[in-house]
């Protein structure tokens, strides 16, 4: 992978999230495999070399690549397991209400 591609990816990823760690691997089938890691977990995105070259030249393709990386980051955040405590709180019924009593002890007006 070219140095320009690495710089482009670093700039785009840091513009999305400064705390996001990433690693790239070039594969044989003309794709770059990017692993994104945060404290929530990690995910993998595969980007064709042609898309990286287009992103270096064109602003629209650059924004498209940035959006693709943002979706990959969103997959990490959304993949958190839902909160479920080990023991649910115990809810006790309070019973039926008793007869009404008035404060004054008497009826209404006379």
Residue 98 lies in a domain: no
Range(s) of the domain holding residue 37: 3-78
Residue 72 lies in a domain: yes
* CA atoms of 68 and 89, how far apart (whole Å): 42
Residue 102 lies in a domain: no
Q: What is the pTM of this model?
A: 0.67
Residue 104 lies in a domain: no
Among candidates 19, 20, 49, 44, which has minimal Cα distance to 33? 44
Question: Are the beta carbons of 42 and 34 closer than 8 angstroms?
Answer: no
Residue 16 lies in a domain: yes
What is the number of structural domains in the chain?
A: 1
Residue 106 lies in a domain: no
* Residue length of the chain: 110
Q: Which pLDDT tens digit goes with each residue over 22-59?
A: 999 877 788 899 999 998 889 999 999 999 999 999 99
Residue 33 lies in a domain: yes
């Amino acid at each position: 992978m070219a140095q320009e591609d690495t710089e482009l990816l670093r700039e785009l990823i840091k513009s999305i999230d400064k705390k996001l760690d990433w690693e790239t691997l070039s594969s044989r089938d003309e794709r770059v495999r990017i692993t994104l890691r945060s404290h929530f977990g990690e995910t993998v995105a595969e980007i064709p070399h042609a898309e990286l070259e287009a992103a270096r030249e064109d602003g629209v393709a650059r924004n498209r690549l940035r959006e693709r990386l943002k979706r990959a980051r969103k997959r990490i955040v959304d993949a958190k397991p839902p909160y479920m405590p080990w023991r649910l709180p115990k809810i006790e019924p309070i019973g039926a209400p008793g007869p009404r009593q008035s404060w004054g002890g008497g009826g209404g007006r006379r």
